[in-house]
Amino acid sequence: MALTISGLSKTYPNGVKALQNVSLTIGNNMFGLLGPNGAGKSTLMRTVATLQAPDAGSVSLDGLDVLSNKTEVRKLLGYLPQEFGVYPKVSALDMLHHLAVMKGITKKSERNEIVDALLNQTNLWDVRKKSLGTYSGGMKQRFGIAQALLGKPKLIIVDEPTAGLDPAERNRFLNLLSSIGRDVIVILSTHIVEDVRELCPRMAIIANGKVLLEGSPTESLGALRGKIWSKVVASDDELKALETNLQVISTHLIAGQHEVRVFSDADPGDGFKPSESELEDVYFLSLSRHAKN
């Protein structure tokens, strides 16, 4: 399977250019779409999910024109939107049966098999009869994946699924996503760098509706190897001085002290130590290079 996005643009009536000539090629396996809030990720996800029309551009799924074949595409699509509402009084079991019927799985025995398997896969079997309103954030998101997987989709879109999950729930959720399989396309949109690092063999970074980088996290990390330096700074003044003289990527507070990371081809001296490149460096550098242009 391959999803080809070509020259997508979208300007909202208020003048916001949410997508500006976005092109991406996405193959099987997990693809990370990483960008800050407001980058245009949801706009792109909704467009690919056939819920919103762009002003220009095309999307093709293995040669099928996505924008003009909505019904066909929806049969191949599993979607977990950013704002995933659930009916609070309905149980997961009943809701999945209802949605399965809507997806055309009308034979009771077949439906039982599919729904039970999904409840097991998403670790919701024990709570399947509880109403969705009583679920924790992580349980709701796992239910969201269960409903997205109904009908064996070939293209699965999950929009910012880990925002708001506690570390244990997030871990469980990411493990679930990674188990979905290699012969489907999974697009994971997120502003959390770690989500992409842990799961995605390929990724794109977007900001202001533009693709800043497309590639593999490993290659992007390799390109920065030997060029990342870090040091703990003693004062705000020192930090300010560094910011004027060096390309500062990020500062982190560690036990109340600022650790600063810089990008430099050569050793900046002055107490800096070489540091392993991290995906966060790739992300922040892409964003700051874009902001300067």
In the complex with ligand ADP, which residue's Cβ is closer, 41 or 202? 41
- From the list 41-49, 56-64, 84-92, 175-183, the region that binds ligand ADP by CB under 6 A is 41-49
Binds ligand ADP by CB under 6 A, chosen from 38, 137, 201, 268 = 38
Output 13 or 269, the one with its CB closest to ligand ADP: 13
- Whether residue 144 contacts residue 84, with contact meaning beta carbons closer than 8 Å, is answered with yes
Binding residue (CB under 6 A) for ligand ADP from 22, 31, 40, 79: 40
Shortest spacing between CB 116 and ligand ADP, in angstroms: 34
19, β-bridge pairs: 10
CB of 279 to ligand ADP, least distance (A): 18
CA 10 to chain centre: 20
Member of 18, 177, 188, 282 binding ligand ADP (CB under 6 A): 18
Helix (H, G, I), strand (E, B) or coil at 253: strand
Hey, which residues does 253 pair with through a beta bridge?
Answer: 258
Q: Per-residue string for binding with ligand ADP, 185-214, x by CB under 6 A?
A: ------------------------------
Beta carbon of residue 206, minimum distance to ligand ADP (angstroms, whole number): 7
Burial of 167 (0-12, 13-18, 19+ CB in 10 A): exposed
**DSSP line for 186-245:** EEEEES-HHHHHHH-SEEEEEETTEEEEEE-HHHHHHHHTT-EEEEEES-HHHHHHHHHH
- Residue number, 37 or 235, with CB nearest to ligand ADP: 37
Which among 13-21, 111-119, 120-128, 239-247 is the span making contact with ligand ADP, rule CB under 6 A? 13-21
Q: Which stretch binds ligand ADP (CB under 6 A): 40-48, 83-91, 106-114, 223-231?
A: 40-48
The answer to the question of residue 244 lying near ligand ADP (CB under 6 A) is no
According to CB under 6 A, which one of 2, 7, 12, 223 is a site residue for ligand ADP? 12
> Closest Cα partner for 276 from 222, 225, 231?
225
Would you count residue 43 as binding ligand ADP (CB under 6 A)? yes
Only one residue has tokens 């202001």, namely: 208
Is the four-CA dihedral 186, 188, 193, 199 of positive or negative sign?
A: negative
Asked if 15 is part of the footprint of ligand ADP (rule: CB under 6 A), the reply reads no
Q: Residue 290 carries which side chain, given as an amino acid letter? A: H
Task: Please tell me whether residue 16 binds ligand ADP under the rule CB under 6 A.
Answer: yes
- By C-beta, is 82 or 250 nearer to ligand ADP? 82
Using CB under 6 A as the binding rule, whether residue 153 contacts ligand ADP is answered as no
Cβ-in-10-Å burial (0-12, 13-18, 19+) of 290 comes to middle
Q: How far apart are CA 247 and CA 288, in angstroms?
A: 10
Residues in contact with ligand ADP by the rule CB under 6 A: 12, 14, 16, 18, 35, 37-43
